Amino acid sequence: MELDGGYKLRALRGALGCTMRDVENASLQISRRLGNEEFAIPPSRLSDIETKGVVPSLFRLYSMAAIYRRDYRELLSWYGVNLDEIHLDVGAAQPPSSHFSKASENISQVSMPVRLDPGFSPQQTANIGRLIEKWGVVPLSYLSMFATDVRFTYGYIGSEDYTMYPILAPGSFVQVDETKNKVVEGSWRSEYERPIYFIETRDGFVCSWCHVQRDSIVLQPHPLSPVHVRMLRHPQEAEIIGQVVGVAMPLGEWRAPGSATEPKAHGAQP
């Protein structure tokens, strides 16, 4: 990787017609302006960078980006540092204190779905991963996890699916851990501790609490949901894709199941 970066820098310098002395003189001007000699690039050091796999310092890489008229992020990527993917690694650490995350503020490109299966219906719960027909590069953050993290899949709760309402509201997006595809039985202190599973049935997808009885699986909706309990053969009629481990849920847009009217604000005149 280091040699590849050096070769690319050498080819770039050659394409611009710059000599090593030209680079040195330009870098000296940069170092004087910034008051830091670390920005200077002697010919001997430039030769080592281009031919011996020596990794340039962040200061010298800045100088080369300026001299060669190339984006600093592009030169970093030649050495295996892709800042557009930094959001994929923010979960490596779990700081104990609450904070703002700014790791993705300057992301320039990520992959996201640009074409979905034409059969997609927002009224039905769906497996987003199976609906995506084409990925494209666009300037949005975080969504590239859909394409790169094979551990997770992502589901959409249909606008008419009230199975786990109000815990999972219609229109929510859920993150599903496919490694957790076995029903865990136990006693739960609250409904928020009980695992919710993303299940594929012959009729489509559904999020639900589950209980396995021999060769059958019970799909248990939330007690406040209008949906009835279902019992299906397992795994012939119901396959557990994984456990719901994250959710992005709309707030402030509640309406009763089957209602075509929006709720009125308190004090609103009829």
Yes or no: domain 119-248 corresponds to CATH 2.10.109.10 = yes
Question: Given this model, what pLDDT does residue 268 score?
Answer: 46
Give the range among 30-34, 125-129, 196-200, 208-212 with minimum mean pLDDT. 125-129
Among 10-14, 98-102, 251-255, where is mean pLDDT lowest? Answer: 98-102
Maximum CA extent, the chain: 81
Q: Are 197 and 244 in contact (CB under 8 A)?
A: yes
Residue 270: the pLDDT is: 44
For Cα atoms 75, 77, 82, give the angle at the middle one, nearest 5 degrees: 135
In 3D space, the residue among 139, 151, 141 whose CA is nearest the CA of residue 87 turns out to be 141
* Residue with more model confidence, 107 or 118: 118
Q: Write out the two tokens for 42.
A: 């002697």
**Predicted pLDDT at 204:** 87
Q: What is the pLDDT of residue 24?
A: 97
> Which residues belong to CATH 2.10.109.10 in the chain?
119-248
In the sheet with 204-213, reading across from the earlier edge strand, the strands are: 126-127, 152-156, 173-177, 238-248, 197-201, 204-213, 216-220, 230-233
Distance CA 202, CA 240 (A): 12
Q: Which pLDDT belongs to residue 123?
A: 77
Give per-residue burial for 187-197: e unless 16+ CB within 10 Å, then b.
eeeeeeeebbb
pLDDT surpasses 50 at 140: no
* CATH code for the domain defined by 2-77: 1.10.260.40
Q: Is the pLDDT of residue 192 over 50?
A: yes
- DSSP 8-state secondary structure symbol assigned to residue 155: E
Range scoring the smallest mean pLDDT among 119-128, 136-145, 158-167: 136-145
What is the overall mean pLDDT for the chain?
82
Nearest alpha-carbon partner for 159 in 49, 92, 259? 259
